[in-house]
Amino acid sequence: MTKFCYFYDRNGDTIELSKAEALHLTQGEIVAHGVIVSDTACDWQRSAFIRGGGKLIASGKNLDALCERLEELNVSANNFKIVSEPIPRLRKGDHHAIIQVADSIKGPVDLKNPETVFVLIISGEGCWLSESDEEAEQAWKTLKYKPFAFCNALPIKIARAMINLTATHGDSVFDPCCGSGTIPLMAAELGFSAMGGDKSWPNLNISRKNIAHFGFDAELLQEDATETNRATGCIVTNLPYGLYLPISEEVLIGMLNNFKGLTKKVSIVTTDDISEKLTDCGYQINQHILSKSNNLVRHIYLTEVI
Ligand SMILES: C[S@@+](CC[C@H](N)C(=O)[O-])C[C@H]1O[C@@H](n2cnc3c(N)ncnc32)[C@H](O)[C@@H]1O
């Protein structure tokens, strides 16, 4: 049976989110730190954290075992190239490893115009060789350069992973506290119908300009998240936080109570642990993931209204 192998971002600050997103998108199993094997192919370019992969050709507990397996399978390719993903990244010797693996594959090497690109994952836990999908462009990464900045903007990878973990095909994605528009922008880029709201007209206007700048569409309204009545496939939102955007307990509870009437799937990122409040308001927390950056700890909740 054909298997697929992918590797994901192993940055310590976002590793839990990276793992959760990779497992969700591939429906596979983690076989080593940063490596997933699955039964189905995954459109990994939609992912925030999966960095590459494709059809699994062979694996082994070490390089010699992998090469033996390649020879047993009589693997051949025309004009191929091997790129390596050493885990950890600074691991030495992958150049020799590439040559050893290339020697076990029949066919000519072409580093400039390869017809086939193989990805060699080398880690202390094993080696995997997969045939890489087309080299990714990942145009979405340019969405990081929004022309109108915002001090409390959510990193785009977190926004993308949260959407991937929450929305399913055909959903509309609504961020009722959209600030500079990171979540609706990312949702629109992923092909969802995007909605955004913000109590502040200047912030909503920043969203409007940022989304238009990249040529995307979103239904944006100035409204209070405690009162909005726009029903949606899911809510993905980044609650106000910090000195400049404080949120009172009353407003938070008001939002949580209001969101329940709009959708069944609510994913929230916040800088406080709001587990108890979510449960008290009738949410089931399916995943609670922490992500750190400098002194900021983000709590990411993937919930379901019960
Ligand atoms: C943390 S920021 C969102 C940042 C956004 N994710 C981004 O990447 O730019 C929170 C936003 O919530 C808005 N906000 C605060 N209270 C609100 C309320 N009651 N209803 C709607 N929006 C509110 C603020 O104006 C602010 O733009």
Percent of the chain residues past pLDDT 70, beyond the cut: 96
* Ligand 1 close to Cβ of residue 238 (< 6 A): yes
Residue pair 158/193 in contact (Cβ under 8 Å)? The answer is: no
Compute the mean pLDDT over every residue in the chain, rounded to the nearest whole number. Answer: 94
Q: What is the pLDDT of residue 7?
A: 96
Please tell me whether the overall predicted TM-score, pTM, comes out greater than 0.75 for this model.
yes
Tell me the Ramachandran region of residue 107: left when phi exceeds 0, alpha when psi lies from -120 to 50, beta otherwise: left
Cα 177 to ligand 1 centroid, rounded to whole Å: 4
In the predicted structure, residue 284 carries a pLDDT above the cut 80? yes
pLDDT tens-place string over residues 43-53: 999 999 999 99
HSE, side-chain direction, 13 A CA sphere, residue 228:
25
Task: Give the integer Cα–Cα distance in Å for 76 and 241.
Answer: 56
Residue owning tokens 């903007």? 153
Å from CA of 210 to ligand 1 middle: 15
Rounded (5°) CA angle 18-22-26: 180
Ligand 1 atom closest to the Cα of residue 203 is 27
**What spacing in Å lies between the alpha carbon of 84 and ligand 1's midpoint?**
42
**Confidence (pLDDT) at 152:** 85
Q: How many CB atoms lie within 10 A of CB 264?
A: 12
Pocket test for ligand 1, best of 198, 207, 208, 227 (most atoms within 8 A of CB): 198
pLDDT given at position 241: 80
Question: At what angle are helices 94-103 and 63-73 packed, to 10 degrees?
Answer: 20
For ligand 1, whether the C-beta of 226 sits within 6 Å is yes
How far apart CA 280 and CA 225 sit, in angstroms, is 19
Alpha-carbon distance of 55 to 201, in angstroms, equals: 48
Domain architecture of the chain: domains with CATH: 4-132 (3.30.2130), 139-305 (3.40.50.150)
Considering only CA atoms, give the Rg of the chain: 22
Does the pLDDT value for residue 91 go beyond 90? no
Q: Which residue puts its alpha carbon closest to atom 13 of ligand 1?
A: 177
At 173 the three-state DSSP class reads strand
What does residue 158 show for φ and ψ, rounded to 5 degrees? -65, -45
Is there a contact between 217 and 188 (Cβ–Cβ < 8 Å)? Answer: yes
For residue 211, report the distance from its CA to the centre of ligand 1, in Å: 16
Q: Whose CA is nearest to atom 27 of ligand 1?
A: 179
Classify each residue of 118-149 as buried b or exposed e, where b means 16 or more C-beta atoms within 10 Å of its C-beta: bbbbbbeebbbbbbbbeeeeeebeebeebeee
Condensed to tens digits (0 to 9), the pLDDT of residues 105-124 reads 999 999 999 999 999 999 99
Ligand 1 contact, 153 CB (< 6 A): yes
Kindly state the average pLDDT of the residues 283-300.
94
For residue 10, the number of C-alpha atoms closer than 13 Å in the C-beta half-sphere is 16
Element (H, E) at 120: strand 116-123
Locate 228 and state its tokens.
Answer: 């909005």
User: What are the respective helix, strand and coil percentages of the chain, to the nearest 5?
Assistant: 30, 30, 40
Residue nearest to atom 12 of ligand 1 (CA): 177
Long-range Cβ pairs for the range 152-156 (8 Å, 24+)? 152/179, 152/238, 152/240, 152/241, 152/242, 152/244, 152/245, 153/179, 153/180, 153/182, 154/179, 154/182, 154/183, 154/238, 154/269, 155/293, 156/48, 156/182, 156/186
